[in-house]
């Protein structure tokens, strides 16, 4: 893979977040394989990239449904990672995979699920 290449990342959204991503629950996006500093793209970069390039939201930063003004994932959203190299392909809380430091691989599945509260 070249330095300027992209890698396919499979995304899924749930709990209402899909409304800000073309109303699609699943989609595959091409993400730069290197971040701004030239390091391999990780999950933290992906979130930045999605926020700046893919997400459809034009309201105030403090009401952003995906990231906080500081750039962190908003509280109440679970980030889940399905590593393509893990045989079972099971999704896991990204805290089990190194959180933002998880280095993206081609076809990594990254899922953003907003917690629900209705009952």
Partner 1 sequence: MNDGVPDDVKNEIFAALRFGDGEVERKGGREWPLSGDEYRRYGRQLIMPEVGLAGQMKLKNASVLIVGVGGLGCPAAAYLAGAGVGTIGLVDADDVEVSNLHRQILHGTAKVGMSKVESAVLYINGLNDEVQCIPHHERIFPENALGIISQYDVVLDCTDTPASRYLISDSCVLLRKPLVSASALRTEGQLMVLNNPPRPAGDVHGGPCYRCIFPKPPPAASVVTCGEGGILGPVVGTMGVLQSLEALKVIIATSSEEDTPMELDEIDAQQQQQQQRKKADPPNLLLFSSFSKPMFRSIRLRSRRADCAACSAQASVTVESLNSGSLDYVQFCGVSSPVAALQPSERISVKSFAQLIADSEQEVHFGRPLAAPPVVLDVREKVQFDLCSLKGSINIPYSVISSTDPSATGPSATWVDELRRIPLDQALYIICRLGNDSQLTVKRFRELALDEGGRRRIVDVAGGLKAWRDKVDRDFPEY
15 binds partner 1 (CB under 8 A): yes
Candidate residues 40, 71, 90, 101; the one interacting with partner 1 per rule CB under 8 A: 90
Q: Report the relative pairing of strands 6-14 and 109-114 from DSSP bridges.
A: parallel
Candidate ranges 9-17, 28-36, 37-45, 46-54; the one touching partner 1 (CB under 8 A) = 9-17
Return the residues of window 35-54 that contact partner 1 according to CB under 8 A. none
Burial 65-75, CB ≥16 within 10 A → b, else e: ebbeeeeebee
Shortest approach of partner 1 to residue 78 CB, angstroms? Answer: 7
Does residue 56 belong to the site contacting partner 1 (CB under 8 A)?
yes
CA distance 69 to 63: 9
Closest CA to 108 of 20, 33, 24, 18: 33
Q: Strand 109-114 to strand 77-82: parallel, antiparallel, or no bridges (unpaired)?
A: antiparallel
Judged by CB, which is closer to partner 1: 37, or 87? Answer: 87
Q: Which residues in this chain contact partner 1 in the complex, by CB under 8 A?
A: 14-16, 19-20, 25-26, 56-59, 63, 65, 74-78, 80, 90-93, 95-96, 113-119
């Amino acid at each position: 893979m070249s330095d300027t290449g992209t890698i396919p990342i499979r995304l899924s959204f749930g709990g209402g977040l899909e409304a800000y991503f073309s109303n699609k629950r699943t989609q595959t996006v091409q993400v730069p394989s290197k971040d701004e500093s030239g390091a391999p793209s990780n999950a933290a970069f992906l979130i930045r990239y999605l926020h700046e390039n893919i997400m459809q939201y034009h309201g105030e930063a403090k009401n952003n449904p995906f990231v906080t003004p500081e750039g962190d994932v908003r509280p109440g959203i679970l980030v889940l990672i399905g590593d393509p190299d893990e045989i079972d392909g099971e999704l896991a809380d990204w805290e089990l995979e190194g959180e933002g430091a998880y280095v993206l691989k081609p076809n990594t599945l990254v899922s953003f699920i907003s917690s629900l509260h209705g009952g």
